[in-house]
Amino acid sequence: MDRLLPLGLAGGAAAVAALMDLGANPVWAWVVVALVAVAALRHVGRERARERAQSDSVDQLYETVDRWAAGHLDSRVYLDTDDPLDAIAHGMNRVAEALEHRTEDLVRDRDRLDAILANMQGGFVIFDRALYVTLINRQAEELFMVAPGEALGRHVLEVVRATAIEGALQRATLSGRPESVEWAPNPREDLLIECSVAPVRDPGGGWGAILMTRDVTAQRRLERMRSDFVANVSHELQTPLTTIIGFAETLSDARDLPPEQAARFIGLIHDEARRLSRLVDDLLALSRLEHHSLIARRDPVAVGDLLGAVALQLQGRAAAGGLTIHVSHPEHLTMASDADLLREVLLNLVSNSIQYTPPGGRIEVSAAVLEPHVVSLIVRDTGIGIPPDDVPRIFERFYRVDRARSRQSGGTGLGLAIVKHVVEVLHGSIRVESTPGQGSTFQVDVPGGPLDPDVMEAAPPT
């Protein structure tokens, strides 16, 4: 339309010239035509410039769109305010801004989700309705032993390889109801994994599912230990009670029992009642220790005095068993600890040595500073020793290598369990070396000493 304007003007000028009958006056006619021609040429020039400017603007718009497509959503396009495309540029900038915010939100959400998935305790997998993996975290990849990123887009059977889990997923996606199964991964059989399957609406219709795994090995072990413990306690209580009831009935039924036999039965009842009482004491001690209600003191403890007192207390029993106790320690060794708890540990260990060392044996009770700030209390005997397979278990409650022998000597099998807990309260550690037929060494390392640093050099070689 604009292009027709100069032609129109020229035509108009010619018409005006004709009307004015300027043919008689050719000079005027040429002046009019020339003026019109100049005006028309200027107009065409302006039009060309405007077209060039517009095509520059379009190029700028294209370039900006390209930059956005390349991910640079922060890029903006600015045109002259009188440019007819300026309004479009403004609109595009606003869309880009909205997109930028939205993308930031999405990135933040994705980062949060990644952080949650990476820091979850267990595995997490999302399946679509055909049971193909659409999302999986690192823990699940490790559990199902697939390389990072390899499970994505794979079918459950290629990833999980456990029919119990696959069955739970199938049922959940068919019924839309949650499922839960326990799974013991084959190569590591001591592991027990609880798998919870929750159905989720699949974007394509029907049910997909979320699988979450939780390692319940420790929990199940604890539950088993608890029920074993109850069974053990019941058994331990039952045995002396049966004896007590049996002899008490015999005594009350047979009134004409010879006095020496009656005295023996009463003695047995007494022994069993004492055993019961010791068992209850030990159980209470264990329960106190397990509930962490005990806090170790940090008083100065003269280690030599402590060892001497323990040896003195058990001297009589050792002598009765044909054993000798030898005490050795660095001179003036003091430590910051809890004398009562340390005594409890040593009494239990030395009692065991007396109990499990045949007559003629030797028991050494010593202290040494083998590493800075730690005092080692060592009880060594020449006793029957402990078979290697039993060593890891002797700190379990009620565990006895030879149940009959231990019971005979009045043991409850709680001594070392108590020792282990007391050592924990003292923030120490305990270790055992034992050779069947040759003897055992129990070493308890307790922090808190020596209070006098010179004692370190005085530590005897062991």
Least distance CB 394 / ligand ATP (angstroms): 4
CA dist 405 to 241, 356, 391, Å? 19, 9, 17
Listing DSSP states for 173-219 in one string gives: HHH---EEEEE--SSSTT--EEEEEEEEE-TTSSEEEEEEEEE-HHH
Binding at 450: pick from Mg ion, ligand ATP, none (beta carbon under 5-8 Å per type) = none
How many H helices and E strands in the chain?
13, 12
Question: Between vectors from CA 429 to CA 427 and to CA 430, what angle results, nearest 5°?
Answer: 145
Q: Looking at residues 136 to 175 of the shown chain, list those that interact with ligand ATP (rule: CB under 6 A).
A: none
Least distance CB 399 / ligand ATP (angstroms): 6
Q: Which of 124/442 has CB closer to Mg ion?
A: 442
Q: Which of 212/384 has CB closer to ligand ATP?
A: 384
**Is there binding between residue 6 and Mg ion (CB under 5 A)?**
no
Q: Looking at residues 428 to 457 of the shown chain, list those that interact with ligand ATP (rule: CB under 6 A).
A: 440
Least distance CB 342 / ligand ATP (angstroms): 17
CA dist 277 to 236, 248, 270, 427, Å? 12, 18, 10, 29
Cis check: omega of the bond before 84, within 30 degrees of 0: no
CA dist 432 to 230, 309, 339, 349, Å? 28, 23, 22, 11
Number of residues that bind ligand ATP (CB under 6 A): 23
Q: Max CA-CA distance within the chain?
A: 175
Binding at 413: pick from Mg ion, ligand ATP, none (beta carbon under 5-8 Å per type) = ligand ATP
Binding at 275: pick from ligand ATP, Mg ion, none (beta carbon under 5-8 Å per type) = none
Strand (E) positions, 31-128?
124-127
Least distance CB 289 / ligand ATP (angstroms): 14
Q: Can you tell me the distance from the alpha carbon of 399 to that of 316, in angstroms, rounded to the nearest whole number?
A: 27
Binding at 449: pick from Mg ion, ligand ATP, none (beta carbon under 5-8 Å per type) = none
Q: Find tokens 């019941």 and name the residue.
A: 234
Are 377 and 330 in contact by the 8 Å Cβ rule? The answer is: no
Q: Can you tell me the distance from the alpha carbon of 396 to that of 190, in angstroms, rounded to the nearest whole number?
A: 18
Q: Can you tell me the distance from the alpha carbon of 422 to that of 285, in angstroms, rounded to the nearest whole number?
A: 10
Q: Looking at residues 335 to 374 of the shown chain, list those that interact with Mg ion (rule: CB under 5 A).
A: 352
Q: Can you tell me the distance from the alpha carbon of 61 to that of 395, in angstroms, rounded to the nearest whole number?
A: 78
Binding string, residues 279-318; x marks residues near Mg ion by CB under 5 A:
----------------------------------------
Contacts (Cβ under 8 Å, ≥6 apart) of 69:
none
Binding at 64: pick from ligand ATP, Mg ion, none (beta carbon under 5-8 Å per type) = none
Least distance CB 386 / ligand ATP (angstroms): 5
Q: Which of 306/401 has CB closer to ligand ATP?
A: 401
Residue from 416, 430, 444, 455 that binds ligand ATP (CB under 6 A)? 416
For residue 182, which amino acid is it? Answer: E
Binding string, residues 307-336; x marks residues near ligand ATP by CB under 6 A:
------------------------------
| Three-class SS state of 401 | coil
Least distance CB 288 / ligand ATP (angstroms): 16
**Is the C-alpha dihedral spanning 389, 395, 397, 401 positive or negative?**
positive
Q: Which of 123/411 has CB closer to ligand ATP?
A: 411
Do the strands 374-381 and 439-447 form a parallel or antiparallel pair, or are they unpaired?
antiparallel
Binding at 232: pick from ligand ATP, Mg ion, none (beta carbon under 5-8 Å per type) = none
Are 197 and 179 in contact by the 8 Å Cβ rule? The answer is: yes
Q: Which of 220/270 has CB closer to ligand ATP?
A: 270
Q: Which residue is nearest to Mg ion (CB)?
A: 415
Q: Can you tell me the distance from the alpha carbon of 342 to that of 315, in angstroms, rounded to the nearest whole number?
A: 18
Binding at 356: pick from ligand ATP, Mg ion, none (beta carbon under 5-8 Å per type) = ligand ATP
DSSP state of 155: B
Binding string, residues 385-404; x marks residues near ligand ATP by CB under 6 A:
xx-------x----xxxx--
Binding string, residues 385-424; x marks residues near Mg ion by CB under 5 A:
------------------------------x---------
Least distance CB 321 / Mg ion (angstroms): 14
364-381 per-residue burial string, b: 16 or more CB within 10 A, e: under 16: bbbbbbeeeebbbbbbbb
Binding string, residues 345-384; x marks residues near ligand ATP by CB under 6 A:
-------xx-xx------------------------x-xx
Residues found near Mg ion in the complex (CB under 5 A):
352, 415
Residues that bind ligand ATP (CB under 6 A): 352-353, 355-356, 381, 383-386, 394, 399-402, 406, 411-417, 440
